[in-house]
Amino acid sequence: MTPGKKRLSYSYYPGCSLHASGREYDISTRALFKALNVGLKEVPDWFCCGATPAHNVDELLSLSLCAKNLSLAEEVEGDLAVACAACFSRLKTTQHHLKEDDTKRKQVEVAIDGPAAINKPVKHILEILAREFGLARLEESVKKPLLGLKVASYYGCLLTRPPEVPELDDCEDPSIMEDLLRALGAEPVKWSHRMECCGANFTLSRPGVVLKLSNAILESARIAGADCIMVACPLCHGNLDIRQKEIKEAYGAPDSTLFGNIFGSELRGGSAPDQRDVPIFYVTQLAALAMGVASESLGFESVITDPKPLLRDKQLL
């Protein structure tokens, strides 16, 4: 009686990072979707979403960049899948603004010389996996459960905020990553810094800030007993992965400034902080691994903090 479930299929906007520093995210996403038999068709001729800089400089430009990309995506069948949290945020923000503001929409439509695809559904990889494909089906599809792997799931700033734009989960207390991890057989840890900022695009302009913020995240994950951190954003990945060595150098001493301006803190000092390496995984890397995709095709070689010792230790390689 019930019609057979159609094969899921998506159009795909990788974004610049996924074709550059975050290449592992791109290839693991493709590998994962292939393993799950979910269609993924890259939007032809896509270009940069404007990321964080554009909207700080020129609002019309930033909206137009995304609007044009969306109208390109409209040409490809299926909801638009986005992996990068920043691209996702920009595309959704654009749709949100243009839906709310007719004047802006008209300006943008003049700029891009065509209608803005404000209703094209834009979906983050996380919601595709957890909701559209479904946790139950995902759990069924697991070939190699990530048993014993303690993962700190890191959401960062953009995935859920502001709540009316991404509409992904509870904006301050989400659970979609944890749910996903459980479905993959891993153990999500409870930790404090999963919603804090990593410093994001200050990575070049003010590395000091990035070191401080990223250190707080890494340290918090270690305190919580995490083996690794799972991210869904190439920028977060960059900061947390590439800078681990620098962070150790800067904050190796026990008297860290982790907690900023503290009123009457008596907690300073104490034992030297834990200095473990914390491998950083993309959500798709872990998921693909669990689906039995060969680890060689997931880009573990190209990251700085080598995850292989951990994976070997957990007998996942």
Q: Which of 57, 136, 204, 267 binds another protein (CB under 8 A)?
A: 267
Q: With respect to another protein, which residue has the nearer C-beta, 236 or 289?
A: 236
Residue 22 contacts residue 284 (beta carbons within 8 Å): no
By CB under 8 A, is residue 173 in contact with another protein? yes
By CB under 8 A, is residue 260 in contact with another protein? yes
Residues in the chain: 317
Q: What is the DSSP string of 57-105?
A: H-HHHHHHHHHHHHHHHHTSSSPEEE--HHHHHHHHHHHHHHHH-HHHH
Minimum Å distance from CB 218 to another protein?
15
Could you give the CA distance from residue 162 to residue 233 in angstroms, rounded to a whole number? 16
Minimum Å distance from CB 299 to another protein?
32
Interacting residues with another protein between 218 and 237 (CB under 8 A) = 223
Our measurement of the distance from residue 188's CA atom to the centroid of its chain's CA atoms, rounded to an integer in Å, reads 16
Could you give the CA distance from residue 170 to residue 64 in angstroms, rounded to a whole number? 29
Structure tokens at 225: 């007993």
User: For the CA atoms of 174, 178, 179, 182, what is the dihedral angle to 10 degrees?
Assistant: -170
By CB under 8 A, is residue 6 in contact with another protein? no
Q: Which helix (H) or strand (E) holds 249?
A: helix 244-251
Q: With respect to another protein, which residue has the nearer C-beta, 99 or 190?
A: 190
Could you give the CA distance from residue 99 to residue 215 in angstroms, rounded to a whole number? 39
Contact letters (x/-) for another protein, 51-90, by CB under 8 A? Answer: ----------------------------------------
Q: With respect to another protein, which residue has the nearer C-beta, 2 or 205?
A: 2
Could you give the CA distance from residue 254 to residue 268 in angstroms, rounded to a whole number? 8
Minimum Å distance from CB 156 to another protein?
14
Q: With respect to another protein, which residue has the nearer C-beta, 1 or 136?
A: 1
Q: With respect to another protein, which residue has the nearer C-beta, 59 or 196?
A: 196
Q: With respect to another protein, which residue has the nearer C-beta, 61 or 223?
A: 223
Q: With respect to another protein, which residue has the nearer C-beta, 268 or 276?
A: 268
By CB under 8 A, is residue 1 in contact with another protein? yes
295 to 121, 156, 191, 192: CA distances (angstroms): 32, 26, 28, 30
Q: Which of 266, 269, 294, 296 binds another protein (CB under 8 A)?
A: 266
By CB under 8 A, is residue 195 in contact with another protein? yes
By CB under 8 A, is residue 259 in contact with another protein? yes
By CB under 8 A, is residue 103 in contact with another protein? no
Could you give the CA distance from residue 90 to residue 49 in angstroms, rounded to a whole number? 7
Structure tokens at 270: 């104490």
By CB under 8 A, is residue 172 in contact with another protein? yes
Q: Which residues bind another protein (CB under 8 A)?
A: 1, 3, 163, 170-173, 190-192, 195-196, 223, 259-267
